[in-house]
Structure 1
């Protein structure tokens, strides 16, 4: 197995903080997720996380009008210029201060940034051909007495309005204007959070945090604002006359004072004032707002989870809705104004709502608390996650969307596992129940409980799917149930401490159950022959997790000393050990008084998983690193960094001189003179403090890792969310059994040359293992030759051919052609593949996943075509009936006319 894994997607979290953006085509929603940005394609029903990462979480973003350049600003003022075409970072700029808002002008030539008490105006990237600096500062606008909070541009991009914490709204011209200098508007009793211009007008709407709306009417139109400057004649510069006979020029005569030209200064009047507290009927505050200038619809979101749509300027209520009890922190209209995107930080929810039909276009919500566990379905098509909020969610790995949520658990979910058929997922929880959920009908069809209350910390299902076992962390017992009947079969006792892990495995002809515990033992149970038959293995430290190798010939255990030990399940003899302490990395909080090396003591890997072929093991725990080890060589293959987000604690490893002050490390000492207000520091190694404090940084931790059954990807539950890494085989040159005579040129010569040999050309292409070359060779082979070539294909190339065909099922348009290859290959080599089922299972899972995905796509297209045909048929019938009725009316009129003529005659 190759380990060219790259970050692919981030699930489990759809929105954290900051503003939400629509792309100009209204097909994609851009949502900031921590220090990353996720793009939700509403047309293709797919989500993707951009491969861009910042050192802090993003707080505000801005998109250019052409939808090419995205500027994202983090908490510490670091701004990234991102190209949405190449999905790369083009430039970085540091404001070194918190930025509340950043907005592009409607023409895309400039963008304005709120910077402390000022507003900085920059030239947009790509607008200057003189230099390559994307952040060319044009001008700085002053006037505010406190921090500026919001920006909005006029339709012609010549003026902009700025709201500030000094409760005033100011209007600035981009260039010098005789009618407008700086106009300040008051009238608010709280911080101004949003201000909006009307379309093609200087009329202004300003909203404060207290829910007060002020409507400002301007006596000057936007078109007349610049007339005075355009019509003002330019006075020619007077050149002094020079006397050729004099050494000095003639003195310029003093000019008499001339009356200054009076310019009509603009004036604002407060035309109306409205209060949202009359609608909310509580003390909730305004948290977000957006105004669509074309439809004149204003939306305002509040801290109690409700939002209101009003038609301006009459302030007519159109609709009101509540998304819960958490505050709505982001609201934005699309370009047409028919869709409204809302984001909620507390729930981690993202909603796209069509307000005219009052239906949801997109409604996604992650775990609003920490993710604790995950598991892959047998075909790798779906992912199940469980969180400390008690929810179990099912995710589609191809689209990245959650399609069902189970809320039956009342406490944290500790373990998840799919049955062997994939038709059910079983979860254990600290609420004392083990529940089985049907993935077809989406219901909880079985609940397993213990005779006395117990908190279940781990879970395992036997390969047949008939028996489920869960370990308890308070009664130190193992409970075994029957999935069919729901009856409790056995209670296994013997451990003397909380049980941390349990797993089923086939060791030869015997089916064994292995469990790990904090009592420094690992026990092997043969529950299907005799419940009293068990073997105890001493690991000399607290065992934190256990796993069976897919072939059942090895057990892996990670302990508190950060060691990974390998045992034979039959003889219970230790066959290997990995000292992983050096790979754990150093961990140091911001308030620690010790070094990272000292603070890392007592930390270890707490979760592990074997790869699909059993050649590698994936481990993670209380560290920002995830490590991959070789199971036979016992060496580190690769180490992945979970996050680069410095908004989490535990990212630093060493003391930094940048944070040193006269009182010590910054953040450790409170500079107030009153000792009662000083921050209470915890002792080294002790996790304490007020969890309800206003500023609490989570620690970087990996709670669960899992390899995909296809072997092409793996996922990890961390503080960031559900992170998925996958291989990109098209970018990796990985030849198989290669020699100097095998080249792309010699391979192509066997396809079209005089010595044509497609079978040999296929073998050479598979040995080169280049996807484009293999596709070229396979598609050049006629359909009637597929059966003959498949039968004569050597056994060691069958796996490569099936794996490539599974990849082509997803990407190629020749669907039936590759289905013929798969069918003939499986029929020709089916008996031989059964003998090595453990190595061929990842390939078969890849085939199954590709077929299911293609089936869903074809079914969706078929349903759409059927509905379109039915619609066209109904329209045709209505048109035909209308035509027949019209012709009948004409015929009756002609008959009546003939009868009248006969009467006259």
Structure 2
């Protein structure tokens, strides 16, 4: 089994906090999700999470104008300079303080950063510079009396404006200018939220949190600004001089003052004319189209045409605050990020339609399950919603919100067309993936909080167990009736698992026992297995001959189902590990609250088991050898609790950990007001908290090529990257690629194919297989050894998803299954399950893709054939020499209908190409 699993995608979370950014082409939007970044390709309908992580949650995103690099800044001031092409980190940088805004200059040569009460301008890396440090400080700009909040550049990148919480906006020149040193604009009564320059102008728009807009007009053109001359005198540089200024210098200074740029307020507009106290939270301005969009705390946004302030559109997109808004480069799409529910929306304002509308789970995910073909994945969370995700695109395409309580378990049926979910609201619901509706609801005689769920192999029996009632309820999927109630446990049931036959059901409980039930037998319970501690979860192997149980004393025990004998155990205390929470009074090594596995899953072949719990680690064990094969760290995000093994002694006081003190900071990072009598802002019940790192559920896909885990960060998907793995089979010293190619030149097809599989290099195997003539496929498939049949089928399944030679590889798959299918079925059928599932997944995917193209071509040919018949009938009816090209539309429609009626009687006839 290949264990080169690497992080491939993050689902279930589309936006956390921070600003959004469009790529240079305007087809993709980049969104910060925790300490990672996700790119949503709106043109191809795909999402991709970069395999880079910052130390804390990312709050600022800046993309270079050329689209090659990006800067991501976390909430502690740590920055990552990354390449958008290779999706790797190029440089680590620290600003040492929290950063509020980061923005590239239009020419891409400068990077402006606002932190505390200063603005910093850095020189970005380029091909002409040969500096060791990619980000070199160009200059620091002072002047603000409070924290700086926003930045905007002029079109020529020679000046920029900085807004601040001191209600002023300041215009700075990147380099010394004769006409501009620093200019301060006042007039607002609240902190500045955004400021924007007009295109190719110094005219400025400023917006404050009080939802007012001021239009500033500059008396100087942008082209007039010139670099400062050597003889020009700056009064700021003369403060330290002791000599007196003569009259000539005073006259020069007066001339300089007269030449300075001047701003004039020409208009002031108010968004909240009715006085509803709706704070403005974000804004963006498209300079080319001159359109301004502003988002508010109530979830409403306004679209205005500037500078006349003409209202274009007003829409409420959410009940939560709009935290970020941005235009794409052409200006036809607007991206919105809503902080409260984690929503990401892309809206086309001209057609007034949504391009993208995605929302992750509001609360922590609790359960996950793969469909049998590995193309879909279902998740449930504490918010009571069940979401179905497409793994190829990474988007959620349906959400079921019928549950009123947290979802505790989800499961696909064997066909993958039905999803069953159990909830703490006392119901088990079945959802149809064809009509996207809830067609079955299972309930118990008395209200029960269902904690676990299981579905048999046929999909006809649904079982669920409760926390408060120690019984297992069994329903029929067809009738929806309660079939039986299995009693015997003396504590809450923590896990259920069906065997592959569907007649065996295993249940684990906190009463230190695992019970085996014969579902279709009259006796009910067959065996009770005693455990050393409370059972946390149970799962049965794909063969049904073994089951694994995780207990509270850090162990995983394996039992033989037929003999009820324990076959082995794994001690996971040292492997699972744990971190010290902020409120822990003991060290992480001493703490035992988070050192038990809570979820288990067998691999597709049943030789390995995936285990995780309340920790940041996920472990893969070899069952027979009882060894740890690999351990994955799901996150390095220090914004989560229980990540560090040792707490900083500087935070430990006589009264506890100072990190637990609530600094009254809101979700958006803004300081919250203290609630007083008569004050409408602020809520004393609001508290900031650090979510604890946790893995609630892990599942292997049926193909074995990937696995998923529901964590505090979201749904993490890990896949096998086979291109980077060298795994030879039966390799000898005389086996080299040159020997394989020599056998290929001599047309020894079978020998070359066997040696290529022994060498196990993808490029060599592809060259050998595609060089084999298709008439030789039948002969080679008949002579191939049984050892290479599975390898060949696995390779064919992989190539069906990516290779353009579709018919060639389908021919290989058909001949291999025809000749060796009976032997694969009789010998080790469970070991070939992953390979056959991968082959089925590839064929289904290609069938869906090509089927749409074939249907379109078939309908087009039918239309052309019908049109040709109509034209031929017209020519026959038209007298010789007449040229009547102005036929009425009604006659054409009637003739088309007549031909369709004629063709409907002979629908099975083949379509022949038309030759005129």
The residue that corresponds to 2:839 in the other structure is: 847
* Number of residues of Structure 1 aligned to a counterpart in Structure 2: 840
Is 1:785 the counterpart of 2:785? The answer is: no
Contact 2:578 2:594 in 1 (8 A): no
Question: How many Å apart are 1:156 and its aligned residue?
Answer: 1.0
Q: Where does residue 574 of structure 1 map in the other structure?
A: 566
> How far does residue 859 in structure 1 lie from its aligned partner after superposition?
4.2
Query: In structure 2, how many angstroms separate the alpha carbons of the residues matched to 1:328 and 1:95?
Result: 27
Residues in 2 aligned to 1:135 and 1:458: alpha-carbon distance in whole angstroms: 52
Rate the CA distance shift 1:807–1:132 in 2: closer, same or farther, 3 A.
same
* Map 1:678-697 → 2, pairs under 5 A: 693-697=686-690
The one-character-per-residue Cα deviations of 1:766-788 (angstroms, maximum 9, x if unpaired) are 11111111111100000111011
From 541, 544, 547, the counterpart of 1:549: 541
The CA deviation string for residues 781-807 of structure 1, in whole angstroms up to 9 with x for no partner, is: 001110110111111111100100111
Q: 1:503 is matched with which residue: 478, 497, 515?
A: 497
SS in 2 for 1:799: helix
Residue-by-residue CA offset, 1:460-497 (whole Å, 9 max, x unaligned)? 11111111111111111101111111111000111111
3-state SS of 2:261 partner: coil
- Which residue of the partner structure matches residue 717 of structure 1? 710
The equivalent position to 1:646 in structure 2, one of 629, 638, 660, is 638
Aligned to 2:298: 304
Pick closer, same or farther for the CA change 1:369–1:602 going to 2, 3 Å. Answer: closer
TM-score by length of 2: 0.88
Partner of 1:825: 816
Paired position in structure 1 for 2:177: 177
Instruction: Tell me the SS of whatever aligns to 1:823.
Output: helix
Distance in structure 2 (CA, Å) of the matches to 1:96 and 1:406: 44
2:515/2:525 contact within 8 Å kept:
no
Mapped to 2, the partners of 1:153 and 1:814 lie a distance apart of: 51
Q: Given the alignment of the two structures, is residue 802 of structure 1 paired with residue 802 of structure 2, yes or no?
A: no
Tell whether 2:97 aligns with 1:105. no
CA displacement at 1:9 relative to structure 2: 0.5
Give 1:342 shift: 0.8
Q: 2:723 aligns with which of 709, 714, 730?
A: 730
Q: In 2, Cα distance between the equivalents of 1:691 and 1:794?
A: 73
Distance (whole Å) between structure 1 residues aligned to residue 455 and residue 330 of structure 2: 51
1:775 pairs with 2:745:
no
Give 1:861 shift. 4.9
Report the alpha carbon displacement of residue 541 of structure 1 after superposing the two structures with TM. 1.0
What does the per-residue CA deviation read over 1:719-739, in whole Å, with 9 as the maximum and x for residues that have no partner?
Answer: 010000011111111112222
Q: Supply the distance in 2 between the matched residues of 1:863 and 1:291 (Cα, whole angstroms).
A: 44
Contact kept in structure 2, 1:561 and 1:602, CA below 8 Å: no
SS at match of 1:436: strand
Report the alpha carbon displacement of residue 534 of structure 1 after superposing the two structures with TM.
2.7
Residue 262 of structure 2 corresponds to residue 267 of structure 1? yes
Q: Give 2:435's aligned residue.
A: 441
1:197 aligned to 2:197? yes
Q: Secondary structure at the match of 2:719?
A: strand
CA deviations on 1:555-592 (whole Å, 9 max, x unpaired) are 10001111101111122111111111111213211233
- In the alignment, structure 1 segments of 5+ residues that lack a partner are 236-253, 673-689, 877-886, 891-905
Tell me if structure 2 keeps the 8 A contact 1:432–1:456: yes
Alpha-carbon distance between aligned partners in 2 of 1:600 and 1:175, rounded to the nearest angstrom:
60
> Partners of 2:432 and 2:470 in 1: how far apart?
29
User: In 1, distance between residues paired with 2:788 and 2:684?
Assistant: 57
The answer as to whether partners of 1:560 and 1:602 remain within 8 angstroms in 2 is no
Alignment of structure 1 residues 341-360 onto 2, 5 Å: 341-360=335-354
- CA deviation after TM superposition for structure 1 residue 657, in Å: 5.0
Contact 2:333 2:346 (8 Å CA) reproduced: yes
The question of whether the paired residues in 1 share the 8 Å contact of 2:366 and 2:696 is answered with yes
Q: Which position in structure 1 is the counterpart of 2:578?
A: 586
Q: How does 1:422-437 map to 2 (within 5 A)?
A: 422-437=416-431
Structural mapping, 1:102-141, within 5 Å: 102-126=102-126, 129-141=129-141
- Which residue number in structure 2 is paired with residue 681 of structure 1? none
Q: 1:871 to 1:355 in 2, by over 3 A?
A: farther
CA contact (8 A) 1:147 1:166 kept: yes
Q: CA deviation at 1:40?
A: 0.9
Q: Is the 8 A contact 1:163 1:194 kept in 2?
A: yes
Deviations 1:813-848 (A, max 9, x none): 111111110011111111011112211111111112
Assess if the C-alpha contact under 8 Å between 2:170 and 2:183 holds in 1. Answer: yes
Give, in whole Å, the separation in 1 of the partners of 2:686 and 2:748.
73
Q: Which moved more, 1:573-582 or 1:174-183?
A: 174-183
Aligned to 1:884: none
Residue in 2 that maps onto 1:678 = none
**Residue in 2 that maps onto 1:396:** 390
1:365, 1:727 → 2: CA distance?
A: 28
1:732-747 maps to which residues of 2 (within 5 A)? 732-747=725-740
Tell me, in whole angstroms, the C-alpha distance in 1 between the residues paired with 2:414 and 2:861. Answer: 40
CA contact (8 A) 1:109 1:127 kept: no
Are 1:587 and 1:600, in contact at CA under 8 Å, matched by a contact in 2?
Answer: no
Measure the CA separation in 2 of the matches of 1:117 and 1:69.
Answer: 27
Could you tell me how far apart the structure 2 residues matched to 1:692 and 1:489 are?
47
CA–CA distance in structure 2, aligned partners of residues 744 and 691 of structure 1:
71
Q: Which residue of 2 aligns with 1:880?
A: none
Candidates 515, 538, 543, aligned match of 2:507: 515
Distance in structure 1 (CA, Å) of the matches to 2:316 and 2:852? 32
Aligned twin of 1:384: 378
User: Is the counterpart of residue 749 in structure 1 residue 742 in structure 2?
Assistant: yes
Secondary structure of 2:830's counterpart equals helix
Distance in 1 (alpha carbons) for counterparts of 2:624 and 2:393: 36
Equivalent residues in 2 for 1:307-326, closer than 5 Å: 307-326=301-320
Q: Distance in 2 between matches of 1:662 and 1:112?
A: 42
SS in structure 2 opposite 1:544? strand
Structure 2 counterparts to residues 18-417 of structure 1, below 5 A: 18-126=18-126, 129-226=129-226, 257=248, 259-260=251-252, 261-262=255-256, 263-278=258-273, 282-417=276-411
Partner SS for 2:831: helix
Q: Structure 2 unaligned runs (5+)? A: 233-244, 665-682, 869-882, 887-916
SS in structure 2 of the partner of residue 177 of structure 1: coil
Q: CA RMSD in A?
A: 2.7
Decide whether the 8 Å contact of 2:577 with 2:595 is kept in 1: no
Q: What is the CA–CA distance in structure 1 between the aligned matches of 2:127 and 2:641, rounded to whole Å?
A: 40
Contact 1:480–1:490 (CA under 8 A) maintained in structure 2: yes
- The alpha-carbon distance between structure 1 residues 710 and 641, as it changes in their structure 2 partners (threshold 3 A), is same
| CA contact 1:341–1:353 (8 Å) conserved in 2 | yes
Q: Check conservation: 2:10, 2:717, Cα contact below 8 A.
A: yes
Per the TM alignment, residue 540 of structure 1 is displaced from its structure 2 partner at its CA by: 2.2
The residue aligned with 2:526 is 534
Distance across 1 between alignment mates of 2:621 and 2:389 = 28
Q: What CA deviation, in whole Å up to 9, does each residue of 1:478-534 have, x standing for no partner? A: 011111111110001111111110111147xx8211101111111001121124333
How many angstroms apart in 2 are the aligned matches of 1:621 and 1:29?
34
C-alpha distance in structure 1 between counterparts of 2:590 and 2:864, whole Å: 73
Measured at CA, do residues 692 and 709 of structure 1 come closer, stay the same or move farther in structure 2, by a change above 3 Å? farther
Please state whether the residue corresponding to 2:223 is helix, strand or coil. Answer: coil
Q: Following TM superposition, by how much is the alpha carbon of 1:661 offset from its aligned partner in structure 2, in angstroms? A: 7.5
8 Å CA contact retained: 2:456, 2:500: no
| Greater mean deviation of Cα atoms: 651-660 or 866-875 | 866-875
Aligned to 1:452: 446
Distance 1:184 1:23 in 2: 32
Paired residue secondary structure (1:294): coil
Contact 2:151 2:161 in 1 (8 A): yes
Q: TM-score, normalised by structure 1?
A: 0.89
Following the alignment from structure 1 to structure 2, what is the Cα–Cα distance between the partners of residues 542 and 849? Answer: 39
Q: CA deviation at 1:233?
A: 9.8
Q: Equivalents in 2 of 1:152, 1:528: separation in Å?
A: 71
